[in-house]
Structure formats: C-alpha cells, structure tokens
A and B are shown apart, each in its own frame.
Chain A
Amino acid sequence: MATLAQAIRLALHVGETRLGVTDVFGEDVGPPLGGVFTCTQGLATAWNTPLDERGIVGTAFGLALAGERPVAEIQFCDYIYNTIDLLKLAGNCCWSSMGQFPVPMVLMSPVGSGIHGSIYHSHSFDAIATHIPGWKVVLPSTPLDTYGLMIAAIKDPNPVMFLYPKALIRHQGTEKIPGEPDDPKVLSRMIDAPVGSSREHWRPSWPDLPDFEIPIGSAKCCRPGEHLTVLTYGRTVPLCEQAAQKLFEQEGISAEVIDLRTLFPYDGEMILASTRKTGRLLVVNEDTEVTNFGEHLIRVLTEHCFYHLQAPPRLLAGANTPGVGLSWNLERVSVPQLDAIHAAMREVAMTEA
C-alpha cells in the first residue's frame, strides 16, 4: 500500500495530467529533492522557489487569480506564520469582490509533532487555519484519504489548506488507492526516486489511476461505538483507534472514533448524530489547548446536543507551551500520546450521568 507521501505524489500527478495543475512549487519541492518528505518527487510541474514563504503564497494566489490551479507548499507549517495576511487576503478575495475573483489554490503543509522536531518542526496549524474565513481546511490521516482529498482540493474553486500529519508521512495505508499496484515494492520501484545515486535521468513510471476523490466536508467513522464519541484528526487518529481497541478489549467500553478529515467545512451531520447517540464527547488533537479548534467543536456540539449529553464534553489537546521541547520526556507530555488518550476516553465513558 502507498504511503501518505506517495499518495500526495499520485494525486498531484493526476492533478498535473488531468486537472489543469500547471505549477507545484515551494522550497526544495522540485528536482532533485522533490520535497523534504518526498511528496513532490518526479512530478513534471514541480519547481524550486526562493526561500520565501510570502512569495510562495503570493505567487500561488496570483496564479489562481489568473485562472490557474496552483499547488504550493510551505515546507513546515511552523514557517507559515509570516504569510498570514496573505492567507487572509486569499480567503477574503472572492467575498470582497462579490464573487468576481475566486481563488482556486491549494496550499499544502506538514503539521504536528512526532518526528522529534523540537520547537520549529512540531507546530500544529489547525486553530489558526480554521480561523481564516474563506479557506477550506483538510487534514487527512491515511494515504487513501490523502489521495482523495488532494484531488478534491485541486478541483475546488476555493483556496484549500491541505495539512498533513508529518508523523504519518511514511506510514503505509490499509486501503488501496484505486489503480495502485498490489505490491508496495512495485509502487516504490515505479515512483520513488533512487536514493543516493544521481537522479538526473530518473523518471517515474506512473500507474494508471482511475477517477476517484473524497469530497471535502465528509468525516469518516473509523470505528463505530456506543458509549462515547471521539472526534480527532491527523496524528492522533491511529492513537485513538488503538486506545479504543484497548478500552473495548479490557473493559468492554465501545468508543466511536471519527476522523474529521476536513476541518472546514466539517461534517456536522456525522458528528452531531454520533454525539446524540452516545451522549459523551471527547475531542483529541495536538494543537495548544487555549483557543483550540476542538473548543469550537465542543461549543457547537454542546449547543446542539445539550439535552443528549450525559457527561461534560472534554478536550484533550497539546499543552499550552510556547513549543514542543526536543527531549522525548518533554515531547511526550506536551502532546497527547496513547496512554493519555486511553485515560481520557475512559474518564469520559465512566463519568456518572
């Protein structure tokens, strides 16, 4: 099965061959590297920019104004902060021009902790991204979702922030991308650049990829359950699934785990129905906890499900520290890990009604 990095590449290949993408660009995105996480390796339209995030966002914005469908990358979301006014402009452009100038750009960036990235390779961006009206924001956790959502993001006539969890970039999926070879080794030989040797003459050989996409705005129920609802996205999705499994095996508590996949506009129907069904809600993410996107979800769900709730909704998020420290002892306690997630689920499930 493809990894998340390969899934991005495959989707961008579909983008540049079938969906009108003319430019995939960012720092070290073009040859020879193809992105610091190899997400853009072998693409025909990938190119290296100056080391200038404002130029990257601005140029993508300008290309979109000229009717093109650019995909730009910010190498790490930790370095997106100096572009926020441009992100705001891209988000308000269609609105402020009364629909004259939609901005069909995709801005992708890896987010979150999990690679011992210390203070500047561990940031989350979900609270700030969702705080910029006019953008759609996706954050998939599996290769198949990554692939399908990237295709939807490229097709969307609006600016789409495509965040992806760097902790999971090399994880292989359990679901096959339509058209990918059965054997992951075969896929690797086809589309991974040779390591070490010169890549000057290397060209990928792309599999035939049939049309496929995952609509923006649809969440995924990864694990149905009865006793509590767990809303999560990104790095913490597989952790929540594992915790739910353990909780079920050890104590018979059944947690419904929902991967939000799209943070804006999010799948209100699914999360509302689940919360009403279970009456208990835990939101898990790793952004700092103050003014956290999970707080918004809890507010809206409390307003809409108040009389169904049997316990106070809870947010398990990152500690409100200025950064994630390098030492594992520091990182471990700064952002949610398996044990903490398991404990939080248990607590929400056990709270007396």
Chain B
Amino acid sequence: MSDVHGSAQVQARRSAQMDVRQVYRLMAKARALEERMIRMTRSNDGYFWIGGPGEEAFNVPLGLLIKRGQGPAFDYLHHHYRSSAILVAMGLPLIDAIRQMAQRATDPNSGGRNFVNHFAKREWNVVPGASTIETQYSIAPGTALAQARHGGNGITIVNGGDAGSSEGDFATCLNWSSRPGRELPMLILIMNNNWGISTPFESVHGDRIIARRAEAFGIRWGTVNGNDPVASWRKLVEVMAYVRKERKPYCLEAYVSRLHGHSSSSGAGRVQEPDCLEMFGRDLVEREILTAAEIESIQAEYEREAMDALLQARQEPEPDGDTIYDHTFAGGTPGWPPLHKPFV
C-alpha cells in the first residue's frame, strides 16, 4: 500500500498537476483515520487524542508535494499534532498512526511512548513531533541550514497553530531564516484555526494577519483558504517552487477548521465549522468528477481500512516495562548511576 502511495506521491510532485480524485481520496482517508482514533478514546483503545480533522484540504496537497526521502537532499518536515493528512498523503499506512494511538510496541514513531499524531520517521525526514507548542520553529532553521549548505532543492517545512505564533520561537524562525546573504530554504506555515484551545485569536492579538510579520524580515508571505484544496494546491506549488529554487524562506498562513475541538480533553465532539471534505465532495459531485455513490464507497473503504488497522493493532504487544531506558542514549545506556528498577 505505502509503495503505491509513494510512487503516486512522487508523481504528483514531479508533475505538479493536481489529481482531484487522488486528493479527495487521501483527504477521506486521513479523515477516516482521525475519526477512528477519536472513537478509540471511547472504546478503551487509546487515552488522549489530538489531531487534524479540518486541515486535510491543505495538508494532503502539502504531503503530495513534499520531496520525500532521507537526508538533506530531501524535504524535512517539522510538524505539529494536526498533521496526519500530510503523513497520509506521503504514504503513511494508517496502522502506523493507530499503533501510536493504541500505544503498541509496534508503533514505529515512538514505540508507544508518545501521544498520537506525534510522528517520527527517519526515512522520510519527518523529525519527531513534540507536544511543546512552537519549539519546532526554533529547530527547523537547523535542518534548513544543512540543506542550504548541501545544495540541491530540498527544503524545510515547519507548521504550527495560530496561537503558538505568540511564542518567541516564531520570531526566532523568521529571524534565523532571513539573515542577509544567508537566507534559508524554509516553508514557514501557520495553520490558523483561530483557536488556542479555548482562546480566540483576536481576543489576545492586535495583529490580524500572522504571516505579515514576515514582511518585517524581508520574507515573502501570503495567505490561503486552507479549506479549499484547489487553492491550497496552487498556492503550495507556487511557493514551494520559489523556496526550492531561490533557497529563501516563504511564510504562508492557511485558514483552516478545527472540526473536533481541541482534543479529547474537550470531548472531541464534532463542531459546526466549514468541513473541507464535505465541501470538496459536493463540489466534485456537482462537477461530475465523482458520483455520490463513489464518495460513499471511498469513505466506506477507508473506514474499513482504519477499523482493520485497529483490529490488527489490538493483536500486537504493548511495550514491555523493562524497556523504559532503551534508546535514552545512542550507543547504549551508561553503566552508572545504577538504573532505578522499573516499578512492578
């Protein structure tokens, strides 16, 4: 499965032609994954959920346009926790997210250590996701610096929310990516859903357009309706080409929805906000690109795939308590001080 996606992903990027059916399918797939994982918090298959329903229309095009691979010749992704659709479009098998949600030892991201949607995948330059808001914006200049020196057309992509842009890390990112003569090939994204948990953006900010802050640093910037996959695709093709070629940063703010509230802490119930998947589906039916029946069957197919993934993950082992120290250090755990025995 992942190889099929992998080659589709490569093809999409190379041609820069949007295959609307493919984008729709991947959006539906990512949505089915998240909806299954939300249900997992209720079926005792997982604890905490946080994720990205509402960001698919932007994130699927982004995932398809990413130059996927390992090392500075390829794109690096520094992601926040609403990025599942990026990974799905890159070719992530659904079960690899489900395994993390279900804290399985087989979770390839973190071995059952981290929250769901905190991806880590070395072969794809997906650096470990973290819960600390905005820290990825301070780290991303490092991979971009390696790429600037390496040459080629690999870029660094960093995303995060609107509220997080209040952290100093966002200013760090703008500053470090735009040092005169030493600009960095970075796509700096703001996924603006207008919320920071319960706090509306405008209640704590005097500025209205976050990306405009980039202007002060001489960084090109723009905004896009992130609920519109066609507009997002076009904008991403344009700005990623700019960053790849010019080796300079671009700051893009995408307006998106947050369809299940902040996280499972607030219940993760569905809220009334524009739904990019529904809107795009309707649009494709109206344009006679897909039929209503096809849409239904696509959704059913991915719901089944997500459910099958869960059934499979349930059979897999949980991490063993004896492994808590594993990988603390590359090259092995030091012999001293004596390790505290795991409590039994």
Chain B window 126-161, contacts with chain A (Cβ cutoff 8 Å), 1 for yes, 0 for no = 011010100101111111111101000000100000
In this assembly, does A343 line the interface, its C-beta being within 8 Å of a C-beta of chain B? no
Distance in Å: Cβ of A166 to nearest Cβ of chain B: 26
Q: Given contacts A50-B176, A55-B175, is CB(A62)–CB(B327) below 8 Å?
A: no
In this assembly, does B121 line the interface, its C-beta being within 8 Å of a C-beta of chain A? yes
**Which chain A residues border B147 with CB–CB below 8 Å?**
66
Contact A57 B337 (CB under 8 A): no
Distance between Cα atoms of A85 and B334 in the complex (Å): 23
In this assembly, does A93 line the interface, its C-beta being within 8 Å of a C-beta of chain B? yes
In this assembly, does A101 line the interface, its C-beta being within 8 Å of a C-beta of chain B? yes
Contact A59 B145 (CB under 8 A): yes
Contact A157 B142 (CB under 8 A): no
In this assembly, does A68 line the interface, its C-beta being within 8 Å of a C-beta of chain B? yes
Contact B122 A100 (CB under 8 A): yes
Chain A window 134-157, contacts with chain B (Cβ cutoff 8 Å), 1 for yes, 0 for no = 101000000000000000000011
In this assembly, does B168 line the interface, its C-beta being within 8 Å of a C-beta of chain A? yes
In this assembly, does B314 line the interface, its C-beta being within 8 Å of a C-beta of chain A? no
**Which residue of B121, B175, B326, B336 contacts A100 across the interface (Cβ within 8 Å)?**
B121
- Chain A's interface size range is 35 or more
**Which residue of B132, B169, B330 contacts A157 across the interface (Cβ within 8 Å)?**
B330
Residue of A nearest to B111 (CB): A98
**Which chain B residues border A97 with CB–CB below 8 Å?**
109-110, 120, 122, 128, 327
Distance between Cα atoms of A57 and B169 in the complex (Å): 11
Contact B128 A58 (CB under 8 A): no
Residue of B nearest to A270 (CB): B336
In this assembly, does B312 line the interface, its C-beta being within 8 Å of a C-beta of chain A? no
In the complex, the 3 A-B pairs of residues with the closest C-beta atoms, listed nearest first: A62-B142, A58-B138, A268-B336
Could you name 16 residue pairs across A and B whose Cβ atoms are closer than 8 Å?
Answer: A55-B175, A58-B135, A58-B139, A59-B138, A67-B72, A89-B135, A96-B120, A97-B109, A98-B108, A98-B111, A99-B330, A100-B122, A100-B128, A101-B128, A134-B328, A268-B336
Chain A window 55-72, contacts with chain B (Cβ cutoff 8 Å), 1 for yes, 0 for no = 101111111111110100
**Which chain B residues border A157 with CB–CB below 8 Å?**
329-331
Residue of B nearest to A300 (CB): B337
Chain A window 34-68, contacts with chain B (Cβ cutoff 8 Å), 1 for yes, 0 for no = 00000000000000011010110111111111111
Q: Once A and B bind, how many residue pairs between them come within 8 Å at the CB atom?
A: 156
Interface residues of A in 154-168 (CB under 8 A from B): 156-158
Contact A60 B142 (CB under 8 A): yes
Distance in Å: Cβ of A240 to nearest Cβ of chain B: 22
In this assembly, does A265 line the interface, its C-beta being within 8 Å of a C-beta of chain B? yes
In this assembly, does A23 line the interface, its C-beta being within 8 Å of a C-beta of chain B? yes
Residue of A nearest to B110 (CB): A96
Interface residues of A in 117-147 (CB under 8 A from B): 133-134, 136
Interface residues of B in 145-200 (CB under 8 A from A): 145-147, 149, 156, 168-169, 172, 175-176, 179
Distance between Cα atoms of A145 and B244 in the complex (Å): 45
**Which chain A residues border B142 with CB–CB below 8 Å?**
58-66, 70
Distance between Cα atoms of A210 and B166 in the complex (Å): 49
In this assembly, does A22 line the interface, its C-beta being within 8 Å of a C-beta of chain B? yes
Contact A65 B336 (CB under 8 A): no
Chain B window 308-343, contacts with chain A (Cβ cutoff 8 Å), 1 for yes, 0 for no = 000000000000000000111111001111100000
Distance between Cα atoms of A146 and B108 in the complex (Å): 39
Q: Given contacts A52-B175, A97-B128, is CB(A62)–CB(B330) below 8 Å?
A: no
Number of interface residues of B (CB under 8 A): 49
Name B's A-contacting residues (CB within 8 A). 71-72, 76, 78, 108-111, 113-114, 118, 120-122, 127-128, 130, 132, 135, 137-147, 149, 156, 168-169, 172, 175-176, 179, 326-331, 334-338
Q: Given contacts A89-B135, A97-B128, is CB(A158)–CB(B141) below 8 Å?
A: no
Distance between Cα atoms of A317 and B281 in the complex (Å): 68
Contact B146 A54 (CB under 8 A): no
Distance between Cα atoms of A64 and B72 in the complex (Å): 12
Contact A22 B337 (CB under 8 A): no
Distance between Cα atoms of A152 and B81 in the complex (Å): 36
For the A-B complex with A66-B71, A98-B109, A98-B120 known, give 13 more contacts whose Cβ atoms are closer than 8 Å. Answer: A22-B149, A55-B175, A58-B135, A59-B138, A66-B143, A95-B326, A96-B118, A98-B111, A98-B326, A99-B326, A101-B122, A158-B330, A265-B335
Q: Given contacts A93-B128, A97-B128, is CB(A55)–CB(B141) below 8 Å?
A: yes
Contact B132 A62 (CB under 8 A): no
Contact B334 A62 (CB under 8 A): no
Q: Given contacts A54-B168, A99-B330, A157-B331, is CB(A265)–CB(B336) below 8 Å?
A: yes
Name A's B-contacting residues (CB within 8 A). 22-23, 49-50, 52, 54-55, 57-68, 70, 82, 85-86, 89, 93-102, 104, 133-134, 136, 156-158, 217, 264-269, 296, 300
Contact B329 A94 (CB under 8 A): yes
Contact B146 A67 (CB under 8 A): yes
Q: Given contacts A58-B138, A95-B113, A158-B329, is CB(A217)–CB(B71) below 8 Å?
A: no
Distance between Cα atoms of A102 and B329 in the complex (Å): 8
Q: Given contacts A86-B135, A86-B138, is CB(A62)–CB(B144) below 8 Å?
A: yes
Contact B336 A269 (CB under 8 A): yes
Distance between Cα atoms of A97 and B130 in the complex (Å): 11
Distance between Cα atoms of A23 and B182 in the complex (Å): 14
Contact B138 A57 (CB under 8 A): yes
Residue of B nearest to A52 (CB): B172
**Which chain A residues border B139 with CB–CB below 8 Å?**
58-59, 61-62, 65, 86, 89
Distance in Å: Cβ of A176 to nearest Cβ of chain B: 30
**Which chain A residues border B135 with CB–CB below 8 Å?**
58, 85-86, 89
Q: Given contacts A52-B176, A100-B120, A101-B128, is CB(A95)–CB(B141) below 8 Å?
A: no
**Which chain B residues border A85 with CB–CB below 8 Å?**
132, 135
Distance in Å: Cβ of A289 to nearest Cβ of chain B: 20
B111, B135, B179: residue with the most chain A Cβ atoms closer than 10 Å: B135
Contact B128 A266 (CB under 8 A): no
Q: Given contacts A93-B128, A300-B337, is CB(A54)–CB(B329) below 8 Å?
A: no
Distance between Cα atoms of A204 and B3 in the complex (Å): 53
Residue of B nearest to A50 (CB): B175
**Which residue of A55, A100, A102, A264 contacts B176 across the interface (Cβ within 8 Å)?**
A55
Residue of A nearest to B319 (CB): A98
Residue of B nearest to A272 (CB): B336
**Which chain B residues border A57 with CB–CB below 8 Å?**
138
**Which chain A residues border B140 with CB–CB below 8 Å?**
58, 62
